[in-house]
């Protein structure tokens, strides 16, 4: 009962009317057909060319909808919230309007900030900006912890050019914008490092804030990055003036002044205000969570009739099997998928590790697989993901860490080795395939007693029919003898790993809660 209550709190019933009035009347993304890139009003011709070089001939509906709500008369007068399926092109939906809006800027300083929960995602988003921003003279940076903090600092800010202002006091020179970039893509941790420690890093000129994967970003406080950013961009009443050597008041020519607005709707808010775009495939409707964003007259762009939607070309299948036969069923399924790229999701890092270690003890499997886990080093994970993208590995075994936002070209299959706990989890896992209008399949292993819960869960999403998939019994039987041997080797391997870690004083996350070595193999 407690577990069910928590689920409802997390997701709510499928068709519940949102508490917030503005969420009840969304712009329906499905009414946009996605026009050719050459036919989007006001799109800079240089951007049209850049998009064509990227192989983009026409826009996806969410991109057209976001453009029409942000560019032109009344541009960015309201904050934009986007709830649109995985792989529907949300990144370009915000990147393009921001780049278009900034392409007439005269002075380089940090004007747009995009925040994402993980480094992999942030780098993926930066690639999109890198493909369009430089053609209109904008510079894009990242703060994700990929390089040392010193390297990152020197890529983001420049040293003050005091020699150009020999007669003016230091304070004036300190106000010169020093950021080398117009757009920053960041993870919250590194963003906070720069806010707190990097001399010359300033958000005072920030005009656009994008929070991608908003529901996840709001679930975790990440060192209070959000209130900090909002606070730093509220500079009402700050004294922007400084004085020259004669004591005359001098206003720095490059200062963005936010005033207390008096127009309707802006009372007691800063103007020009910080325009926000928040988005997800599973945008929260929880008023208390959304209130943290301090949205200004928000406008919701929504896809589908229900709260959640599964990509049109995604086919969902369930496989019912006993838990002791799950590894064998997985092998048979992977054999069926014939070495096509596939992501396998488990419920925990331990379960991923156990499964991939077990598979290693089967000989001659017709697919190459690898574990992808937060317990691995960052460099190992990066190499594994690269190898998977390049097709050197066919199957990645991991947890929900791989589920958010990551795009892998040509990924046709997703397998839920363990049932996802929430429909949101299903949507993000399954959404690694069937992206950008391509087709894909998601298979979910279930024990008999899980079927009802799973079916009920999928009903919360639009377009979520699920067929039964069965595997040939004889193929499973053939693997049984190898299975017993592999299981024995697995226990031995896990035990010696545990002993080794114990001796070395395990420092990995969760180590203190880990079981003693002699308890491990009894599971």
Ligand X SMILES: Nc1ncnc2c1ncn2[C@@H]1O[C@H](COP(=O)(O)OP(=O)(O)OP(=O)(O)O)[C@@H](O)[C@H]1O
Backbone phi, psi, residue 315, to 5°: -105, 130
- Stretches 59-67, 69-77, 331-339, 475-483: which one binds ligand X (CB under 6 A)? 59-67
Nearer to ligand X, 280 or 329 (CB): 280
- Stretches 85-93, 246-254, 388-396, 451-459: which one binds ligand X (CB under 6 A)? 85-93
CB 383 → ligand X: shortest distance, Å? 21
Nearer to ligand X, 277 or 486 (CB): 277
Residue with tokens 């709510």: 12
Nearer to ligand X, 60 or 308 (CB): 60
| DSSP bridge pairs for 278 | 81, 211
CB 318 → ligand X: shortest distance, Å? 22
Per-residue x/- track, 86-115, ligand X (CB under 6 A): xxxxxxx-----------------------
Nearest to 281 by CA among 259, 257, 258, 302: 302
DSSP structure string for 185-206: EE-HHHHHHHHHH-TT---TT-
| Residue 281 near ligand X by CB under 6 A | yes
Count of residues making up the chain: 523
CA distances in angstroms from 298 to 78, 89, 182, listed in the order given: 6, 21, 25
| Residue 436 near ligand X by CB under 6 A | yes
| Residue 61 near ligand X by CB under 6 A | no
Question: Which of positions 403-432 make contact with ligand X (CB under 6 A)?
Answer: 405, 407, 431
CB 358 → ligand X: shortest distance, Å? 30
Q: Edge-to-edge, what's the strand order for the sheet holding 369-372?
A: 369-372, 395-398, 342-345, 413-416, 440-446, 314-320, 466-468
CB 21 → ligand X: shortest distance, Å? 26
CB 90 → ligand X: shortest distance, Å? 3
| Residue 50 near ligand X by CB under 6 A | no
- Produce one character per residue of 303-334: b if its CB has 16 or more CB atoms within 10 Å, e if not: bbebbbbbbebbbbebbbbeeebbbbbbbbbb
CB 407 → ligand X: shortest distance, Å? 5
- Please name the helix (run of DSSP H) or strand (run of DSSP E) that holds residue 445, with its range, or none: strand 440-446
CB 89 → ligand X: shortest distance, Å? 3
d(CA 345, CA 399): 5
CB 6 → ligand X: shortest distance, Å? 24
Backbone phi, psi, residue 259, to 5°: -105, 165
Nearer to ligand X, 12 or 34 (CB): 34
d(CA 273, CA 282): 27
- Is the four-CA dihedral 32, 38, 42, 46 of positive or negative sign? positive
Residue with tokens 């097709």: 391
Among 11, 29, 47, 59, binds ligand X (CB under 6 A): 59
- Stretches 53-61, 180-188, 234-242, 312-320: which one binds ligand X (CB under 6 A)? 53-61
Size of the site for ligand X (CB under 6 A): 17
Backbone phi, psi, residue 105, to 5°: -65, 150
Question: Which of positions 457-486 make contact with ligand X (CB under 6 A)?
Answer: none
Nearer to ligand X, 92 or 191 (CB): 92
CB 86 → ligand X: shortest distance, Å? 4
Among 435, 446, 461, 498, binds ligand X (CB under 6 A): 435
| Residue 258 near ligand X by CB under 6 A | no
Nearer to ligand X, 304 or 431 (CB): 431
Nearer to ligand X, 56 or 319 (CB): 56
Alpha helices in 36-118 (DSSP H): 45-53, 61-70, 90-102
Cβ neighbours, 10 Å, residue 144: 23
d(CA 188, CA 225): 6
Q: Give the interface with ligand X as residue ranges (CB under 6 A).
A: 56, 59-60, 63, 86-92, 281, 405, 407, 431, 435-436
């Amino acid at each position: 009962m407690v577990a069910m209550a928590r689920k409802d709190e997390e997701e709510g019933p499928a068709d519940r009317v949102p508490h917030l009035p503005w969420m009840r009347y969304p712009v329906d993304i499905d009414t946009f057909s996605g026009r050719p890139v050459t036919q989007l009003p006001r799109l800079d011709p240089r951007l049209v060319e850049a998009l064509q070089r990227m192989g983009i001939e026409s826009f996806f509906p969410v991109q057209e909808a976001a453009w029409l709500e942000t560019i032109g008369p009344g541009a960015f007068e309201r904050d934009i919230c986007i709830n649109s399926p995985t792989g529907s092109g949300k990144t370009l939906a915000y990147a393009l309007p921001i780049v278009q809006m900034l392409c007439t800027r005269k002075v380089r300083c940090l004007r747009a900030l995009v925040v994402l929960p993980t480094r992999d995602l942030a780098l993926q988003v930066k690639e999109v900006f890198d493909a369009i921003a430089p053609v209109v003279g904008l510079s894009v940076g990242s703060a994700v912890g990929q390089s040392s903090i010193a390297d990152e600092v020197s890529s983001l800010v420049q040293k003050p050019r005091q020699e150009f202002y020999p007669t003016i006091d230091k304070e004036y020179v300190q106000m010169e914008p020093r950021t080398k970039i117009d757009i920053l893509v960041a993870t919250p941790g590194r963003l906070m490092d720069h806010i707190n420690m990097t001399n010359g890093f300033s958000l005072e000129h920030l005009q656009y804030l994008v929070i991608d994967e908003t529901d996840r970003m709001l679930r975790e406080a990440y060192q209070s990055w959000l209130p900090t950013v909002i606070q730093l961009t509220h500079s009402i009443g700050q004294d922007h003036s400084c004085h020259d050597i004669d004591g005359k008041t001098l206003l720095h020519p490059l200062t963005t002044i936010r005033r207390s607005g008096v127009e309707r709707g802006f009372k007691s808010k800063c103007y020009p205000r910080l325009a926000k775009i928040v988005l997800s495939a599973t945008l929260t409707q929880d008023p208390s969570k959304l209130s943290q964003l301090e949205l200004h007259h928000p406008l919701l762009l929504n896809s589908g009739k229900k709260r959640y939607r599964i990509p049109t070309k995604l086919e969902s299948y369930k496989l019912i099997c006993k838990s002791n036969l799950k590894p064998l069923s997985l092998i048979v399924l992977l054999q069926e998928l014939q070495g096509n790229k596939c992501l396998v999701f488990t419920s925990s890092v331990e379960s991923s590790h156990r499964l991939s270690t077990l598979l290693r003890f089967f000989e001659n499997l017709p697919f190459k697989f690898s574990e992808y886990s937060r317990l691995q080093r960052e460099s190992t994970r990066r190499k594994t993901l690269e190898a998977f993208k390049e097709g050197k590995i066919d199957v990645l075994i991991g947890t929900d860490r791989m589920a958010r936002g990551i795009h892998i070209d040509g990924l046709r299959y997703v397998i839920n080795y363990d049932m996802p706990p929430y429909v949101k989890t299903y949507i993000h896992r399954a959404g690694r395939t069937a992206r950008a209008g391509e087709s894909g399949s998601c298979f979910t292993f279930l024990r008999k007693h899980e079927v009802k819960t799973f079916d009920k869960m999928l009903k919360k999403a639009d377009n979520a029919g699920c067929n039964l998939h069965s595997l040939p019994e004889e193929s499973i039987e053939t693997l049984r003898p190898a299975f017993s041997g592999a299981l024995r080797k697995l226990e031995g391997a896990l035990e010696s790993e545990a002993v080794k870690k114990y001796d070395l004083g395990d420092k990995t996350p969760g180590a203190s809660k880990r079981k003693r070595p002699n308890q491990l193999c009894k599971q």
